[in-house]
């Protein structure tokens, strides 16, 4: 997993509450568990005017001009600004996979569905919770200023506006440690690889009947 220290990026506003995981990545794309290749189908049902299918070439598909992702001013965004209860619905890990594969490293919203929130941290995405009034203000600023970007300093736990003003945010200390060091669940386990090998070696000697 990539380390997350200081990230700067263009902000894309998704002004809709209760965005569920099927909105993020529709169910027909859940057949693959490779973790990559989902970015082209992120928000598929709203991003395109036709129905997407796994393995299909997306380069010639008609885009929905009314969907925010297709507006030129938000091309290349890596910060997603969202509304309440983002990531609700089914607990598919494909949702953060698709967001990450597209290029989003940061999500800012007033609240999230619990499972989606946890899955983001496990996949290198930082979901930041801010007060609704602050999020409202950010939506207004993004709308008013084309090219609006934010910088997030995870170590200091602050969001830096273009004006230089900072917005503090809270993050669980263990999740912060994992993101700063690029550790997913497997990476955390591998930190104790030598101790695990020693335990297994000792266990084979003391309880050989388990391995017969």
For 15-110, strand residue ranges (E) read 79-81, 106-109
Give the structural domain span for 23. Answer: 6-181
Q: How many CA atoms lie within 13 A of 208 on its CB side?
A: 1
Q: Is residue 42 part of a domain?
A: yes
* CATH assignment at residue 80: 3.20.19.10
- Asked whether residue 113 falls in the same domain as residue 43, the answer is yes
Q: What whole-number distance in Å separates Cα of residue 44 and Cα of residue 83?
A: 19
Write the pLDDT tens digit of every residue in 173-208: 999 999 999 987 666 666 666 777 777 777 787 888
Residues in the chain, pLDDT under 50: none
Give residue 187's pLDDT.
66
Q: Is residue 1 part of a domain?
A: no
pTM as predicted: 0.89
Give residue 1's pLDDT.
83
Q: Is residue 199 part of a domain?
A: yes
- Asked whether residue 108 falls in the same domain as residue 58, the answer is yes
* Inter-residue contact 21 to 95 (CB < 8 Å): yes
- Asked whether residue 189 falls in the same domain as residue 128, the answer is no
- Asked whether residue 59 falls in the same domain as residue 161, the answer is yes
The sign of the CA dihedral 40, 45, 50, 53 is positive
Give residue 101's pLDDT.
96
Give residue 195's pLDDT.
77
- Asked whether residue 42 falls in the same domain as residue 10, the answer is yes
Q: What whole-number distance in Å separates Cα of residue 119 and Cα of residue 101?
A: 14
């Amino acid at each position: 997993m990539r380390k997350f220290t200081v990230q700067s990026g263009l902000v894309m506003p998704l002004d809709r509450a209760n965005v569920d995981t099927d909105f993020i990545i529709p169910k027909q794309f859940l057949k693959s568990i490779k973790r990559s290749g989902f970015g082209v189908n992120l928000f598929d049902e709203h991003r395109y005017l036709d129905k997407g299918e796994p393995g299909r070439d997306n380069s010639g598909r008609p885009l929905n001009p009314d969907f925010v992702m297709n507006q030129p001013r938000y091309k290349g965004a890596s910060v997603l600004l969202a509304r309440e209860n983002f990531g609700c619905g089914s607990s598919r890990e494909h949702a953060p996979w698709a967001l990450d594969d597209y290029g989003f490293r940061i999500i800012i919203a007033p609240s999230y569905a619990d499972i989606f929130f946890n899955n983001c941290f496990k996949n290198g995405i930082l979901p930041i919770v801010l007060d609704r009034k602050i999020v409202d203000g950010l939506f207004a600023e993004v709308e008013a200023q084309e090219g609006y970007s934010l910088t997030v300093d995870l170590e200091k736990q602050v969001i830096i506006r273009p004006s230089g003003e900072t917005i503090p945010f809270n993050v669980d200390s263990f999740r912060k440690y994992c993101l700063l060091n690029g550790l997913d669940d497997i990476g955390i386990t591998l930190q104790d690889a030598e101790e695990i090998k020693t335990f297994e070696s000792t266990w084979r000697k003391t309880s050989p009947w388990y391995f017969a």
